[in-house]
Structure 1
Amino acid sequence: MNRLQKLTALDTRFFYWCNDLHRDLGLAPVSRFVSRLGDGVLYLLVGLGFALWEREQGVIFLQVGLMAFALELPLYLILKNTIRRDRPCDRLSGFRAVIKPSDKFSFPSGHAAAAFLFATIMSAFYPPLAPFVFILAGLIGLSRVLLGVHYPSDIAAGALLGVCSAVVALHLWELI
């Protein structure tokens, strides 16, 4: 077994472990709620809220966030449609997801990318909120695994994509 096969096997085992625990604890309603927090509406509302609340820093926060999402979204779509990794609910026999995924492919997780992008931008502008937003980002990513629509490595890749997009946007903003 080569390294990629070993990583895939580990990823699949962790996926099953998370889902067994999820089912045993009856966390589907909580996971659905947490996952919906990462659908995108919350990020826009928070951005607009800060822009209205803090005219100077809040407006910059919103602009940098929009720039970061403008960088992340095309990269996410290119990766997802190039790699074309089947979702666990489509690949693993006898497994059913708790929710119906919005598209066919799983790698990287768009929810994780957006959540970690938002957490990175938020922590750069409002450092006291960093622990809260990063915990929330982690929970959003975990909820996607628990709902059966992503492998753990999808979440890790999405988190990396989101953080990198946010860091690039923050550096680009400094150059403007």
Structure 2
Amino acid sequence: MNRLQKLNAFDTRAFFWCNGYGQHAPVMAGSRWISRLGDGGLYLILGLTLALWEPEDGQAFLLVGLLAYGIELPLYLLLKNTIRRDRPCHRLQGFRAAIEPSDKFSFPSGHTAAAFVFAMLLAQFYPSLMLPGFILALLIGSSRVLLGVHYPTDIAAGALLGITSTLLALGVWEWI
């Protein structure tokens, strides 16, 4: 068995272990709700609210956020459509996800990438909100595994993509 096969086997075992906790009704209901927070609308509403409420930091938060999402989204689409990893609910026989995924492929997790962009922005512009931001990002990523639409490595890759995209955006922002 080569390294990629070993990683895939480990990822599948980790998926089933994590997903087993998601089968309890309260966990499933909470996972659905938390996952919806990562759909994207909340980030835009909060960014616009901060831009109006706190003109200096809020506007920078919004502009850097738009730049970070402008970096993250094309990279996410490129990776997802190049790697083309089937979702667990499409690959694992007899397994059914709790929700219908928006597309066929799982790597990386777009919900997680977006959540980590937002968490990194909070850490940079509103350090007192860093811990809640990262906790929410982790919960959003975890919810995607509990709902059966992502493997744990999809979440790790999404987190890395979100963090990297935000660091690039912050670098560009400092440069201009």
Q: What range is the shorter-chain TM-score in?
A: over 0.9
Alpha-carbon distance in structure 1 between the residues aligned to 2:25 and 2:9 = 24
Displacement after TM superposition at 1:26 (Å): 4.3
In structure 2, what is the Cα distance between the partners aligned to 1:107 and 1:37?
20
Aligned to 1:161: 161
User: Following the alignment from structure 1 to structure 2, what is the Cα–Cα distance between the partners of residues 72 and 21?
Assistant: 30
List aligned pairs for 1:64-103, cutoff 5 A.
64-103=64-103
Identity of aligned residues (%): 66
Secondary structure at 1:123's aligned position in 2? helix
- Partner residue in 1 for 2:174: 174
Q: Does 1:128 align with 2:128?
A: yes
Q: Shift of the alpha carbon at 1:148?
A: 0.2
- 1: CA distance, partners of 2:155 / 2:55: 34
Task: Show the counterpart of 1:2.
Answer: 2
Q: Residue in 2 aligned with 1:22?
A: 22
Runs of 4+ in 1 over 6 A off after TM superposition: none
C-alpha distance in 1 between matches for 2:7 and 2:91: 16
Give aligned pairs, total: 176
Q: What is aligned with 1:117? A: 117
Match of 1:42 in 2: 42
Q: Which residue of 2 aligns with 1:140?
A: 140
Gap regions ≥5 residues in structure 2? none
The residue number in structure 2 matching 1:54 is 54
Which residue identity does 2:96 align to in structure 1?
Answer: R
Q: TM-score, normalized by length of structure 1?
A: 0.98
| SS of residue matched to 2:23 | helix
AA matched with 1:89: C
Q: TM-score, normalised by structure 2?
A: 0.98
- Over residues 119-171 of structure 1, what are the superposed CA-to-partner deviations in whole Å (9 max), with x where a residue is unaligned? 00111000010000000000000000000000000000000000000000001
